[in-house]
């Protein structure tokens, strides 16, 4: 019966390639932030921040193209609402990454706590996992890969919550400069929100699986 439904499922000639372009762009943004926070040289770090800005603009352009395609095409490979939610959620992840990098620059933060670096590393892993899952949407033959990745991302989001809460607790305990505390707290929370959005994207992927089972 599943094979029968697959036969009648509309062939995707546009959306999947756009999904893959979008998620690849997101992986690059997340890795640029990871490289920036692991970089000791300030000039080299600035190169990564500029790359984040460029990639975030690309993310907006890709999102715009996909939304236009949704408006123009009556037949879509998946539920229209799921497509819209997926691409806008990916856009939100890119926005939070850009906000994090921008705040680091504006606030002139040059020393990064251990948890912040771990959060950036974790986020890059989560975005890479999303890419693997979205690549599987092309055929939907091995749905277990997508299911396992969604579970992994959910666990990653819980880990990110713990890292963020631990870092903020440490700030309130040790940081005596109130302004510095506010800066660090805002940066941590914007990065943690990016991991929340990864979990939201995974939820959309699960919805697609259920509707196309």
pTM metric for this prediction: 0.92
* Coil, helix or strand at residue 164: helix
- Structural domain including 80 reads 9-211
The predicted pLDDT at position 55 comes to 97
The predicted pLDDT at position 12 comes to 56
Distance in angstroms between the alpha carbons of the first and the last residue of the chain:
10
Closest CA to 32 of 15, 43, 46: 46
Q: Show the CA angle centred on residue 153, arms to residues 112 and 48, nearest 5°.
A: 35
Neighbour tally for 179: CB within 10 Å: 9
Residue 47: inside a domain: yes
The predicted pLDDT at position 68 comes to 94
CATH number, domain with residue 113: 1.20.58.220
User: Rounded distance, CA 159 to CA 122, Å?
Assistant: 9
Residue 4: inside a domain: no
The predicted pLDDT at position 1 comes to 41
The predicted pLDDT at position 7 comes to 39
Interaxial angle between packed helices 143-174 and 114-136, expressed in degrees from 0 to 180 and rounded to the nearest 10: 170
**What letter would DSSP give residue 59?**
H
**Region of residue 140 (phi > 0: left; psi between -120 and 50: alpha; otherwise: beta):** left
User: Rounded distance, CA 31 to CA 154, Å?
Assistant: 20
For the CA atoms of the chain, what is the radius of gyration?
Answer: 19
Distance of CA 163 to the CA centre of its chain: 17
CA distances from 76 to 81, 90, 198 (A): 10, 19, 23
Residue 3: inside a domain: no
User: Rounded distance, CA 144 to CA 133, Å?
Assistant: 10
Q: How many residues does the chain have?
A: 213
Residue 165: inside a domain: yes
The predicted pLDDT at position 11 comes to 54
User: Rounded distance, CA 153 to CA 81, Å?
Assistant: 22
For the chain, what is the domain count? 1
Average pLDDT of adjacent 10-residue blocks, the chain of 213 residues: 42 82 98 96 95 97 95 88 96 98 95 95 98 92 93 97 96 94 96 98 95 81
């Amino acid at each position: 019966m599943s094979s029968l439904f697959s036969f009648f499922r509309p062939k995707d000639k546009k959306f999947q390639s756009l999904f893959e372009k979008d998620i690849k762009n997101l992986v690059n943004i997340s890795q640029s932030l990871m490289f920036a926070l692991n970089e000791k040289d300030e000039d080299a770090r600035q190169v990564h921040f500029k790359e984040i800005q460029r990639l975030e603009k690309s993310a907006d352009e890709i999102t715009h193209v996909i939304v236009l395609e949704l408006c123009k095409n009556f037949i879509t490979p998946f539920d229209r609402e799921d497509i819209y939610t997926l691409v806008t959620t990916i856009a939100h992840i890119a926005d939070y990454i850009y906000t994090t990098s921008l705040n680091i620059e504006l606030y002139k933060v040059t020393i990064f706590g251990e948890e912040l670096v771990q959060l950036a590393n974790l986020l890059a892993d989560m975005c890479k996992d999303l890419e693997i899952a979205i690549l599987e949407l092309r055929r939907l033959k091995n749905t277990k890969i997508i299911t396992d990745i969604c579970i992994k991302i959910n666990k990653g989001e819980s880990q990110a919550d713990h890292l963020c809460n631990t870092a903020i607790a440490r700030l309130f305990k040790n940081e005596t400069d109130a302004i510095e505390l506010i800066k660090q707290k805002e940066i941590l929370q914007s990065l943690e929100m990016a991991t929340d959005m990864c979990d939201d994207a995974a939820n959309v992927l699960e919805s697609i699986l259920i509707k196309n089972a």
